[in-house]
Amino acid sequence: MKEDFVKDLQNKIMIELRKIYSPKVLRHWQYPQNWGIMNDASGYGKVTGPCGDTMEISIKVEKNKIVKCTFDTDGCGSSIACASIITEMVIGMAIEKARSITQSKMLEFCGGLPEEDKHCALLATDTLQKAIDDYEAMLK
């Protein structure tokens, strides 16, 4: 009986979430990709957003291309999804192109986010940019 109640509640929650979030965001929220921080990263960024969520992104760069990108966050589902999505976006991408990813490009790639979650896309892009800054600083 209790299991049926829980399953029913979970189903109702998912129905409501599907009205608000794109399938891509829900997939990355439920099944995040590239979670973890590399020990041998070429660049690392850590940013705490205005909501209090902290995100970390590590990048591995070879021949000016990001060959691996991982993340960690203590944030909400939207922060998890945005971090997971941005790691997938940049793998195989040249540093210059990754540098050009903005909040609006992230939101477009995510299929949009509710107004109250749009800052999560900015947190992901800011953290990636900080990792790229760190990488470039190591080159000097």
Q: Where are the domains of the chain?
A: 23-139
pLDDT digits (tens, 9 = 90+) for 5-53: 888 888 787 778 788 899 999 999 999 999 998 999 999 999 999 889 9
Instruction: Write the class of the CATH domain 23-139.
Output: alpha beta
pLDDT digits (tens, 9 = 90+) for 57-105: 999 999 999 999 999 999 999 999 999 999 999 999 999 999 999 999 9
Residue 2, pLDDT > 80, answer no
- Spatial distance between the Cα atoms of 125 and 92, rounded to a whole number of angstroms: 17
One-letter amino acid of 137: A
Q: What is the pTM of this model?
A: 0.91
- Determine the distance from the C-alpha atom of residue 137 to the mean position of all C-alpha atoms in its chain, rounded to a whole number: 23
CB-based contact 117:78 (threshold 8 Å)? yes
CB-based contact 66:60 (threshold 8 Å)? yes
